[in-house]
Chain A
Amino acid sequence: MPAESSGGPENTALTELLDRSVPADPVAIAAVVDAISETLARLEVPEQKRFEVALAVQEALANAVVHGCGNDPSKQVRCQLKSDPQGRILISVADPGPGFSPDLVPDPKGRENVYADHGRGVYLIRQLMDEVHFERGGSEIQMWKY
């Protein structure tokens, strides 16, 4: 389980690889996820790591669209991809919503939730990434992959 306190690896000397603001729309966020995958492929990031990052970004952006923007495509979500000199990857996803409390997300592996049609996004992010920080009351997520 990744840490969720504020902080994370030293934020200096980060190289910005991608910065996109897109409408809160499933097709628009899919294009961002694909662009991140392509960027990481160009950097020769291994396939397994690319997959884990891409799925975590998909989940973070989907949460931003649904919960942060209420599926309103007139609103925008922002996604930034950065890396540090050690090759660690930082992804930030921000939305204009009021945020949420990640501690209130139910355990999707609980027996009563196993057939639920929602409620797995934050759990997946926590499993796939090495560090996860929720900022601005939960309306911004910062995710590190080492």
Chain B
Amino acid sequence: MDINVRKRSQVQVIQLRGPLRMGPAVDGLRQTLEEALRNRETRIVMNLSEVPMVDSSGIGLLVQFLALIKKQGGNIKLANPSKFAVQTLRLVGVLKLFEIFDDDDAAVESFA
């Protein structure tokens, strides 16, 4: 999985490409989110448009860090999640935990 991080208007935008599943993908995203927390970057947009699969370990990671970041007054917002990512998050009852936007711009602006 490719993980691309950039900063826009004090918001960290994380673009993922590839399946988010147990192994290097989940481990890599965990490191990225841990680093964000260490740097007190708690306004995060995660673009899931090119993520064709999110497995249960990926879901666990997303909700775990959503809770941690919300405790610090921040949020993880999803930008343009793929239809299969949406289906999976809905299936396990966690889709409602996330704010979802059509694209990065809308998600970033929502933090203003």
Residues of A in contact with B (beta carbons under 8 Å apart): 25-27, 29-30, 33, 51, 54-55, 58-59, 62, 65-66, 108-109, 114-121, 123-124, 127-128
Contacts and interface: CB of A to CB of B under 8 A. Distances in A.
Contact of B56 (A62, A109, A115): A62
Interface residues of B, number: 25
A121 to B, nearest CB: 4
Contacts of B64: 115, 117
Contacts, number: 72
Interface of B: 19, 21-24, 52-53, 55-57, 59-61, 63-64, 66-67, 84, 87-88, 91-94, 97
A90 B21 CA distance: 22
Contacts of A59: 55-56
B91 A30 contact: no
A30 B92 contact: no
